[in-house]
Amino acid sequence: MIIGVPKEIKTREYRVGMVPAGVAALTKKGHTVLVEKGAGIGSGIPDSEFERVGATMIKSADEVWRRAEMIVKVKEPLPPEYTRMQPGQIIYTYFHLSGVDPELTRVLLRKKVAAVAYETVQLDDGSLPLLRPMSEVAGKMAIQVGAASLEKEHGGKGILVGGVPGVRRARVTIIGGGVVGSNAAKVAVGMGADVTILDKNVNQLAYLDDVFLGRANVIFSDMETIAEAVREADLVVGAVLVPGAAAPKLVSEELIKQMSPGSVVVDVAVDQGGCIETCKPTTHDNPTFEKHGVIHYCVANMPGAVPRTSTFALTNVTLPYAELIANKGLREAVKSNRALARGVNTLDGHCTYEAVAHDLGYDYVPLEDVLNGTAPEPKAPAPKTSGKKTARREVRVSAKVARERAR
């Protein structure tokens, strides 16, 4: 198989979809790996390292996309890349289709691209192995950037997260006790903050209580406990995840208005639409904005700021599935691996991931039907909307498209 690794074009996205070890593993199996020149520079990987292990270095992104049967990336394709997609091509990357430009899904369906999304590859125990390392990075970063945003020069209250003797510590509220939330809590507790973690899973709460030995408050999450914890917080971290689907809005704009001026919110779920109503995607160029006196940090590719760590952590877990696809072909690979099968969001012009189909208004077609040839002929990719809901959706769509194209 011919595998292409283009340079990421998202604002200040320094990660790369494959490292030299991955190239070596694939070329030893007889595959061809095309790497765009300069793709690894941001992660501290010079072109010479890729060449040394057998990669073919390509000057043009257009050529990488044109020649490759499978594209391996980090972030979702952006508008300049839509025209580069080839009919029937496999694209293996983070997509977050429910939270990004809806035009991307239309292009994937129209071109019958096989979209294999890192974030929905799911093991039988419910864990998300390709999302976990970036969630760990984002969770830890959330406290770092939140602590910086609390500084007065960045618009915050001027509070030191850990406080000092005689002065109270910062109150940190973390909504969601999964991978992002638990890693955020580790850093916040380590810095000496007064930490509260909210989650609906009582088993997870019991686990977190054991892990933190009483150094963090673990509370069952409902709208009342969220409201109370958010109002009292200096820093709120949104760490909610519904695999593949849009994040639920758990913090309303009205609740944000009740926070004290100079408070900070960091919405790690922003790439899935965000769990804080007032959040909108930002970039590393302009990471924060102020609304109702509250500083919002909503960068959709937070781990891109620490690419050396993030690239190697990510490719450690993505490579085995890339090898499986390359060695067997996508159809046989997903038939042999249920976790990988759950990662297929679109195939042959059909939306094969139910949460994405629901959120974007497409007909859901089970992957098994597509693989078995029993799926109906794909329709023109136009989502189903009606009435006032249509108008609201179109306003959101236009805003998202404008933001993405401005990056």
What's the DSSP call for residue 77?
P
Residue 280 is predicted with a pLDDT of 94
pLDDT, tens only, 346-374 = 999 999 999 999 999 999 999 999 999 99
- Decide if pLDDT at 406 tops 50: no
As given in the structure block, the two tokens for residue 114 are: 């096989």
Residue 391: predicted pLDDT: 37
Question: Would you name the residues annotated as active-site residues?
Answer: 96, 271
For the segment 80-137, what is each residue's pLDDT rounded down to a tens digit?
999 999 999 999 999 999 988 899 999 999 999 999 999 999 999 999 999 999 999 9
Q: Where are the domains of the chain?
A: 2-128+306-401, 137-300
Confidence (pTM): 0.87
19, pLDDT greater than 80: yes
Beta strands in 17-106 (DSSP E): 32-36, 56-58, 70-72, 90-93
Instruction: Give the amino acid at 214.
Output: G
Instruction: Report the amino acid identity of residue 49.
Output: E
CA–CA separation, 128 vs 132, rounded Å? 6
Q: And the tokens for 159?
A: 């509070």
Residue 295 has pLDDT above 60, yes or no: yes
| Mean pLDDT score of the chain | 93
Confidence check: pLDDT of 224 > 80? yes
**53-57, 174-178, 239-243, 396-400: the lowest-pLDDT one:** 396-400
pLDDT for 359? 93
pLDDT at residue 228 is higher than 80: yes
CATH superfamily of 137-300: NAD(P)-binding Rossmann-like Domain (3.40.50.720)
Q: List pLDDT tens digits, range 378-391.
A: 887 777 554 333 33
Q: Residue 90 half-sphere exposure, CB side, CA atoms within 13 Å?
A: 22
Q: What is the spatial distance between Cα 99 and Cα 119, in angstroms, rounded to a whole number?
A: 12
CATH class of 2-128+306-401: alpha beta
What integer is the mean pLDDT of 321-343? 98
**2-128+306-401 and 137-300 have identical folds:** yes
Separation CA 130–CA 121 (nearest Å) = 7
Read off the DSSP letter of residue 262. T
Return the bridge partners of 117, or none: 93
Question: Dihedral (C-alpha) 25, 26, 28, 34: value to the nearest 10 degrees?
Answer: -120
Axis-axis angle for helices 179-190, 202-212 (nearest 10): 20
Q: Is the pLDDT of residue 403 over 50?
A: no
- Give how far Cα 86 sits from Cα of 48, 64, 309, Å: 28, 11, 31
User: Quick check: 376 pLDDT over 70?
Assistant: yes
pLDDT tens readout for residues 25-76: 999 999 999 999 999 999 999 999 999 999 999 999 999 999 999 999 999 9
